[in-house]
């Protein structure tokens, strides 16, 4: 499942960088399997469960920027991801769950 999300995310990021090279988009590498030592190091560095997959540094619609969480058609947010969504929106950011390239493209071209 994770690889499907990864392919959607990679396609979207690649397209965004080609279409909008002046707008920074970057991944937040919170997911994936890691060994105990690496997981402890990353936690100490500030990795936080539930943080969205990607951030787009582009204020619009009165919001500070855009967080994007990529999911498969059947994928569901974890409780930590839902809490992050609520907190992000409360603090003035857009937050979107994206399940396909077409959805991402429509979202960005609004």
The residue written with tokens 């707008």 in the block is 23
Gap between the Cα atoms of 87 and 30, Å rounded: 17
For residues 75-93, average pLDDT: 97
The single residue listed with the structure tokens 């947010």 is: 77
**pLDDT tens digits, 18-66:** 999 999 999 998 766 778 888 788 788 878 889 999 999 999 999 999 9
Using DSSP, how many helices (H) and how many strands (E) does the chain show? 4, 4
Residues sharing a CB contact under 8 Å with residue 50, sequence separation 6 or more, in sequence order: 30, 78, 79, 80, 81, 82, 83, 84
Contact 87/1 with Cβ under 8 angstroms? Answer: no
Residue 32: the pLDDT is 65
The pTM (predicted TM-score) of the whole model is: 0.90
């Amino acid at each position: 499942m994770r690889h499907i999300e990864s392919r959607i995310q990679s396609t979207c990021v690649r397209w965004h960088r080609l279409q909008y090279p002046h707008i920074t988009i970057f991944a937040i590498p919170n997911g994936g399997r890691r060994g105990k030592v690496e997981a402890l190091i990353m936690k100490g560095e500030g990795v936080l469960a539930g943080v969205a997959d990607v951030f787009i540094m582009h204020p619009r619609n009165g919001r500070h920027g855009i967080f994007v969480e990529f999911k498969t058609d059947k994928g569901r947010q974890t409780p930590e991801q839902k809490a992050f969504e609520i907190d992000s929106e409360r603090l003035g950011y857009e937050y979107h769950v994206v399940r396909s390239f077409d959805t991402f493209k429509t979202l960005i071209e609004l």
